[in-house]
Chain A
Amino acid sequence: MRAALDHPRLWRVTALLAALLLGVLVFVCARGSLAVIATRPATSAQAAALPSWAPWCTRGVPRKERLRLAFCARVEGRVLESTHGPTAGETHVAVISDFHIVVVRLPEWEATPQRGTNVVAIGPLFRARDGQQEVQAFRFQTT
C-alpha cells in the first residue's frame, strides 16, 4: 500500500493541479458584488443617502407568495444555471457573486442569458422556493 502511494513526482503534479483548482474557484466565487438595502427608507433624508441604483427598487410590483428578506438588493455576478417555470414565461437564473449564490427571477420580457454571462439585477429580495436568496429583478442587465 505504502509503495503504491510512494510517487512523489505524481503527487507533486496533483498538488499543483489541486492548488490551481482552488485558485480558480476562489477567483470565480470572489467576483461580482451583492448589496442589500434592508428596509424601505422612512424619511427623505434616508432616501437621499441610498445608492444610485435604489430608484429601481420600486419600479415593479413585489411578489406576495414569498417571504421577503429585504427591501431591495443589487447583485452583479456570473450566471451558473437557468431554469424555466413553474408557470409559463417564468425564468430564473442562479448567479455566483462575492461568495454568494443568488437566484434572480427575470422580468418576463428578458431573454435567458447564457451560462457565464455577467449580469446585474436589482429588485426586492425574497426567500426562493429552494431556500436560497432570490432577487425579483425590476432591472436586469447583461454586461
Chain B
Amino acid sequence: MRWLLLTLVLLASSAGLLGWVYLRDRDTHWQPTEPQLAYAAAEGTLGELGGAGCSVGCSAEALTRLAPYSWLARITVRGRTRCVQIDLQTFNLHGPHAPVGVEPHRCPHVA
C-alpha cells in the first residue's frame, strides 16, 4: 500500500506544480480601464480598415471620450487619416456585419 500512496503523492505533486506555475503570475481580477479598451478597439479598427500588417504610415489612437463608453479614435492607414466614433459596449470585430460599433466621425481641428 505504501507504493500506492507514494504514487498518489507524486501525481498530486505533479498536478500541484503545474497548477502553481500556471497561477503564480496570473491575475484573474484584472479588468482593462475604459481608455485601455478604447485603445484596443482603435487598434482592432485599424486592422479592419486595411492597416493589418502595416507598420509604416499606419497608426491608431484613442483621442477623446465623447460619452461613457463612446470614444473618438483617429485611424491612419498608409498616410490617409480618418476619425471614427467607437461604442465600446457594442464594438465587435467578428461576424458578418463587422466591425460593429464603429461610425465615421469628423476629426477634431488641430490648433
**Do the two shown chains form a genuine complex with each other?**
yes
Binding site for B on A (CB under 8 A): 5-6, 8, 11-12, 14-15, 18-19, 21-22, 25-26, 29, 63-67, 86-90, 96, 99-102, 108-109, 127, 129-133
Q: In the complex the two chains form, what is the Cα distance from A68 to B14 in whole Å?
A: 32
Q: In the complex the two chains form, what is the Cα distance from A14 to B14 in whole Å?
A: 14
B111: CB under 8 A from chain A?
A: no
Q: Which residue of A lies closest to B1 (CB)?
A: A5
Q: Which of B3, B14, B27, B39 contacts A65 (CB 8 A)?
A: B39
Q: Which of B10, B24, B47, B55 contacts A88 (CB 8 A)?
A: B47
Q: In the complex the two chains form, what is the Cα distance from A67 to B11 in whole Å?
A: 36
B100: CB under 8 A from chain A?
A: no
Q: Which of B21, B30, B43, B62 contacts A99 (CB 8 A)?
A: B21
Which residues of chain A have C-beta atoms less than 8 A from B89's C-beta? none
Q: In the complex the two chains form, what is the Cα distance from A127 to B62 in whole Å?
A: 20
B101: CB under 8 A from chain A?
A: no
